[in-house]
Amino acid sequence: MARHYFGTDGIRGAVGQAPITPDFMLKLGWACGRVFAADARGEERCTVIIGKDTRVSGYMFESALEAGLVAAGVDVKLLGPMPTPAVALMTRTQNAVAGIVISASHNPYNDNGIKFFSASGSKLADEVELAIEAQLQQDLTTVESADIGKVLRVVDAAGRYIEFCKSTAPEGLSLRGLRIAVDCAHGATYHIAPSVLSELGAEVIPIGVQPDGFNINKGVGSTDTEQLSNLVREQKADLGIAYDGDGDRVMFVDQNGDLVDGDEILYIIAMHRLATGTSDSGVVGTQMSNLGLELALQEEGLRFERASVGDRYVKALMEAHGWDLGGESSGHIICSDLTTTGDGIVASLQVLAALQARDTDLANLRSGMKKYPQTMINVRVGGKVNLADFPELTDSVAAVEQQLGKRGRVLLRPSGTEPVVRVMIEGEDEAEVGALCSGLAAEVERILG
């Protein structure tokens, strides 16, 4: 069965444009309720958790999903604004059959989307997503009045998640003496991350902690760290941490204000685990991971493999190998020995633990990894495209690959969450990489535009 709505990470789009509309969300809640109830193994009543980020449209979609779910006879627990990984956690700890997150992650406020977690706190299996798509084709019906679901708001969700995050840090970890600038992107971590870090002893300098429904990710957060870098330098902070709008990604800046991305975060965590003897297993990255990460890990005797872009593919490859660390350049880091999904706060505590153990600064901690110059350009397209349908584009890629030889690599892929094709080129020479990427992006725009 072909997918009409689900992408690589749930359903996402512009608010008010199909399918990100109230009427669709009502039908989606009902379809999910029918599927989840059918999978509940005969239980009289099952529960679905709903959390959201701070977008103004989240209120509208929360109500619509809630109505659809209870119409299908499913109970609902509302968390309010909470990070995506917190919804995964609460789905497990509340014995819910599924968790739903209303968020468009790092996108601006006028986008929104829906992510799902299974009862185990992992992303939904393909067959469950297909079952929901099939149910969406059916007419909406309401269960008998006696069977309509009930709704409960969980008032202590933030406190529970804060305690969980602290529990993932090594025993005895103290952040006393550290000045940390923290950027919460005016998103779902605004009332969580500063508390976690300050309760562990850090002096926190917060920004991006005043959400108004419209400012999520606007000039702040993991996709725009300039303001954080300036703050670190001005306040003479030891480092800065930036989360994205829904808290499943994290980026750092060092004491000089220089960006430390997801590849370097993976390297730091892997080296700390190797040094402490807690793990010598391999690391999973993606097709976008910098070649420097792969070479640095291999020099230390660690294996490295690339998954397709998307945290579900990273997690699947981690499980296939029995490895407990993986992630993406964007800062989506999965520590599967600690939690079930990418978690920006949990990952940041792992980096801070490495920093304290080595008694050094962040710039020195990442110095063992040499990043290769890498340029990526997003080319906007009209909708979903299959690159294999354009042989002229295949020829253009082959020409660039021939020019690079073994000195670099080329990656062309449609985004699973945005109407863009990502053009990425990596190699030894920065000027050459930039020129080749610009040229290939222009070809993509000409051919697909």
Instruction: State the catalytic residues.
Output: 105
Please tell me the distance from the alpha carbon of residue 341 to that of residue 316, in angstroms, as a whole number. 11
Could you identify the residue written with the tokens 């600690």?
Answer: 338
Q: What is the DSSP string of 355-398?
A: HHHHTS-HHHHTTT--PPPEEEEEEE-SS---GGG-HHHHHHHH
d(CA 180, CA 232): 8
Q: Radius of gyration (Cα) for the chain, nearest Å?
A: 22
159: CB partners within 8 A, 6+ apart: none
CA dihedral 213, 422, 388, 4 (to 10 degrees): -10
Spatial neighbors of 270 by CB under 8 A, at least 6 apart, are 279, 283, 297, 300, 302, 325
Lookup: tokens for 248: 């499943």
**Residue 291: closest CA among 431, 439, 428, 404:** 428
